[in-house]
Chain A
């Protein structure tokens, strides 16, 4: 009974301190807010409006039609016209345009004989831009079409594709739920990793360890308030994601709560372990970054997990964020139930138990 009371006292104390620490309190709200807007608006895997130039050597009507057809794809934006291919190349090197379309002098004859109409000179150093322009290679040309409508009809595709869950292929739909994993990794680990270290640095620990409090009571008491912080943050992210980016929630609230709590637990206990290793708050933050970076890069947030090399996948499997990334996308976007994704859920729970055990074992009530 008194164990619960002591744990409650630590949690209440932590919450009080948190509410008085304006910087940390601000971080609780501002980090999700800023990151959500940043990632939501800036990251777009659908490439549009690439600045390009056109070199029309033929001066023909066909060239004007082709140029117009390229423009209306909206993949590119024609920002300049050049007289020679050399000028266009110079502009690419200077970074004024990312690509140039060269239409040769004999364009009408080429079109008539069905030969390749022209050439795209592409700055291939950015692969995303590069592959978007490669998509223009097989663009159908209807320069001889009688009516504009006929000019813009597409040929029959080989396959019908049914796009589930995100038919408009909006990248926000994938990013917003994924962002919860990144933000929770960042804040949960950061807050708890400094939690014990701070008490050491401020000298509170020397007094605390002369009291009858047990390590596990202290640990759990310190974690408890941050569970609520995590829940507040995920509410902000998903709520705004729905309001601002119109990301639809397909799953059940209960499943969402279960997977989120499992991940919050895993992150907090990992932070706690860092807290027992780091000597200073600075060290704790550096270790947090050591976890955070691979979580951003390898968890499947930025790049699809399946496309990563085997070694990177092994590393990713060791990160809680990877498992949560699958869970949250499953529950939120595909309407999966927690019991359909038991492997990842159990992984998080086992991870939490192991981290908490090690942290408690490592924490000694002495100054040795």
Chain B
């Protein structure tokens, strides 16, 4: 068994009547990128804040890097790097000022802090804008700065809350390359996202919805479990066809993607050829060509958040 970086048991957080996180059990191994996938309001940020010791859980146990949270939260501070959802460095300070400030806060000595800042400026391609105010930087640049600051003290665990929500795809790609570099150096990364393409890059994934953990596992495994349940329907008049398809027993969802309709069957519904013939029988004389589709992460997401069978 691999060593665990984070372990939670029965983790709950209630805000009045609202249950933001419900009975969350997690086992996050060291040295991997673990993703929280879920829509806004699914409890990702609340869960992350509890793991950092920023919020006190209503119930349940948390162990992060072997420390009991929130009891040992202060000891954890030096060992985790946290990147908030919203840019939380100082807008009116320059890149190097922000970094030097945080380096001192993390207790790096004057010489060590200077060296470390130079190293990170180079590593995250910030050298050219060291004197630029954070306020005047682009989304991608700010996020590189935030990552540089989060790794200043070389933490064992990096927690990133929707790090790329304000970043274009190319910068996002670069950003993930940097994350894999960190993994290579032995860091564990926990990242929350609502982008499927990002989730797909994680070693392991937890799908959250309404505070519940719906599914977890390696992305490929989660997709493979859906084999046979995904069909692609080609033909004319797809908007009407979509409504008809949704009436067919066993169909969990249907959504148009470009020129074809993507149909997902429930877990207990027909699969593979049986599913194709079920659709053909239900929709005769419509000139449809129906083939099996390759399950995507979006299908995984829809399958485990939209259906009753996983509740």
Contact = CB atoms under 8 A, between A and B. Distances in A.
Partners in one complex: yes
Interface of A: 2, 5-6, 8-10, 12-13, 16-17, 20-21, 202-213, 365-368
B105 A210 contact: no
Interface string B233-257: 0000000000000000000000000
Contacts of A203: 84, 86-88
B90 A210 contact: no
B12 interface: no
A212 B80 contact: no
A5 B103 CA distance: 11
B92 A212 contact: no
Given A206-B54, A210-B54, A212-B74, A21 B105 contact: no
Contacts of A12: 101
Contacts of B52: 210
Nearest to B91: A202
A8 B91 CA distance: 20
Interface string B57-74: 000000000000010011
Interface residues of B, number: 30
8 contacts: A6-B107, A9-B100, A12-B101, A13-B97, A20-B92, A202-B91, A210-B53, A211-B105
A367 B54 contact: yes
Interface of B is mostly: loop
A207 B77 CA distance: 11
Contacts of A212: 74, 77-78, 105-107
Contacts of A20: 92
A210 B51 CA distance: 11
A9 B56 contact: no
Given A16-B97, A367-B55, A211 B88 contact: no
A20 B91 CA distance: 11
Interface of A is mostly: helix
Contact of B89 (A9, A207, A210, A368): A207
A128 B97 CA distance: 57
Contacts, number: 74
A286 B86 CA distance: 27
Given A6-B104, A9-B104, A17 B88 contact: no
Contacts of A365: 73-74
B77 A210 contact: yes
A366 B53 contact: yes
B87 A5 contact: no
A2 B78 CA distance: 13
B107 A207 contact: no
Contact of A9 (B49, B80, B82, B101): B101
Given A21-B92, A365-B74, A366-B54, 12 more contacts: A6-B104, A13-B97, A202-B91, A204-B90, A205-B88, A207-B82, A207-B84, A209-B54, A211-B77, A212-B74, A212-B105, A366-B55
A204 B92 contact: no
Nearest to A19: B92
Contacts of B92: 16-17, 20-21
Nearest to B87: A203
B107 to A, nearest CB: 5
B183 interface: no
Interface string B127-146: 00000000000000000000
Contact of B56 (A2, A16, A368): A368
Contact of A17 (B53, B84, B86, B93): B93
Nearest to A210: B82
A211 B54 contact: no
A204 B89 contact: yes
B102 interface: yes
Interface string B162-183: 0000000000000000000000
A199 to B, nearest CB: 9
B53 to A, nearest CB: 7
Contacts of B54: 206, 209-210, 366-367
A12 B101 CA distance: 9
A212 B81 CA distance: 11
A368 B77 CA distance: 17
B55 A5 contact: no
A64 B101 CA distance: 80
Contact of A13 (B49, B82, B93): B93
Closest 10 CB pairs of A and B: A9-B104, A207-B88, A210-B82, A203-B88, A203-B86, A212-B77, A2-B107, A367-B54, A211-B105, A20-B92
Nearest to A211: B105
Contacts of A213: 105
A6 B108 CA distance: 10
A208 to B, nearest CB: 8
B200 to A, nearest CB: 28
A206 B101 contact: no
Contacts of B107: 2, 5-6, 212
A9 B107 CA distance: 10
A6 B91 CA distance: 20
Given A16-B93, A17-B92, A211 B106 contact: yes
A323 B20 CA distance: 50
Nearest to B98: A13
A13 B92 CA distance: 10
